[in-house]
Structure 1
Amino acid sequence: MNSQLASIAVKVVKDSAPSKRPPPPGAVDWKNRTYGLTCDDIADRPVKVAVRNGTGTAGGSGIGRAYNRWEVRVQQAVQGRLPRLGSVTAVLFSCSPQPSNFFTQELRVYRSSDGREIARIPHLSGGEWLPPEYQPGSVAIRKDRISADLKFYGSGDSHGSPSRARHVTWIWDGKRFVTHGAAAEPEASERVDLSRERITVNGLGPLKVGMSRTQAEKAVGASIPLAGDPACAHLAISGGPEGLLLRFVDDSLVAISVSEPETSISTASGIHIGSTRDDVMRTYAGEISSTFVGDGLEELVFAPTAPQFSGKVIVFSMRDGKVEQFVAGQRDWANLAPCPH
């Protein structure tokens, strides 16, 4: 009889204890899954990060040669409904490349039903200053849009202490999220040193594919004089860097080209003028193709397979087994040929 009472007591204790049941079938556990992240464009293509209990670590060659790991944390996950998309979940990540004393953030949107990624919220540049910081807990999905509070850096702000609060919203236009609400980027009052920036399929530092020439001038804090046919023109930034050219088609930035004498600008993965063919092939293994174009020239084309980078590439011009020029941007325009006349 005593053993029966003891058994009943154990059962009562177990039944009354807090249950850590797994999520129901079909539900997505946003703090325990694998994501594809770029650490806010430090990487040219998404790196897989296994997150457990809201934190994770990424390593390998894809995270950039300057770092040995990324430390990733889920800062917020919020669910809601959007027109044409239905139920979605927005997840805010922080990413701290190590060794370093900074962190980045990126906001990505997924289908709530199965966790498939829809798109990333556009990168927000801080002009000549550091990128703005999302305020965790402020991300919301309501009134047919995604919104968040951010703090932008201004003159006199110290690292880690941005002071310009802005409320920014994004709507889905059927293909991507478009920034609305308060102006997303403060005007640059000082020149940006682009030679210190990294190039990706999306742009170079504050320069983003899709900008108008006026927006690009504000982003870099320098003039970009119009020369040639505005329907398609390769334009230089006043004061350099020399060897950096911006291709505008109908006043939209479609590609960015780097050639000598500019040798300090590199891709986010560290490829630059003078890098070897082996370096390029190893860095972008599985997503790069080769074409020989004659006169001893070879073109290597890095085309990311992730949906959010669809239609964008980096083309490397190789001579004698080394990079002599590269151009990044929209596939149809990121080429080494001059604009048609």
Structure 2
Amino acid sequence: MVQTATTTRAARIGEGQGAGGPAGAALWGIVFANCAVFTFTVMDAIIKSVAQTFPTGEIIFFRNLFGFIPLLAFAWWRHGGVPLRTSRPWGHVMRGVFGVASMFCFFLSYKLMPLSDAIALGLSGPIFITVLSVPILGEHVGWRRWSAVIVGFVGVLVMTRPGSTLFDINALVPLAAAVLYAVAMISIRKLGATEPSTTIVFHFTAFATLASLLTIPWGEVDPAQAWVMPSSLRLWAVLILIGGLGGIAQIVMTMAYQRARAATVASFDYTALIYGFLLGWVFFEEVPDAFLIVGGLIVVAAGIYIIHRETVVARQQHREPPVPPLPTNE
């Protein structure tokens, strides 16, 4: 789904500076953003394909363990090492707890629901970010953004159809993921004031790898959650591919934010809805109904407008826009 590199002020250094001047850099930023979102969505589809074979906690473990490989290579190439020193360890722990919980719900939703349904509901994350930024960050949200939030929730209601005989209780899983993702992203906003994006990414990846090991004892209570040893080279290749795609997508998305305006790049995160529909149709024979399509488009429109308004308000206040970072919860 949604999206996974952490976008902070540090990640946007050099924004708009690339080959061909600002216009050429922006074009490359859009290309990179689309490539990253597509890669994340392909990763989600692969996760869905093995969701019945491996428990969710084990998938999280391998996603982050093998995700270290491209991230380490990129950090060594760009920075000559991995910047892990931090003065805010508890901030990273808080980001990690909510981020891992969100990742767990996202991955679980791919097991319980059609891929396109889970992705569409998960895209409500920016709506929850706007709502939670008021009590947590003390931000002022004007009537335009509140209107967009209400419209976005209408889109969620259209997709889930609560109260009808078609309501799927499993829809609460990706919605819970979106709420947890929102809290994780707000914690990143706080960390981003003092921490480089690479530090945040590596601390989260390490935390997620270790935290996922805590799900091993669940197998004693629920046999369906018992970890299993991959039984073939094909399954090992799939797990390595999941982690590799996640790490590569994080790197490519960071490169997108370094070349184009943050609001422009963030808007393209919603192309995951299109990719999710296509991959679900081609590989899982899932055909989204009219309610999912209409509701998903409403949520996308509301999310894009929220991003636009945040950028406008930031410019009026002469400060850098608080852009919702791309989720590293994938």
**TM surpasses 0.5:** no
Q: Which structure has the higher relative contact order (CA within 8 Å, separation 6+)? A: 2
Bigger proportion of residues as strand: 1
Bigger proportion of residues as helix: 2
From the CA coordinates, give the structure whose radius of gyration is larger. Answer: 1
Give TM-score, length-normalised by structure 2: 0.23
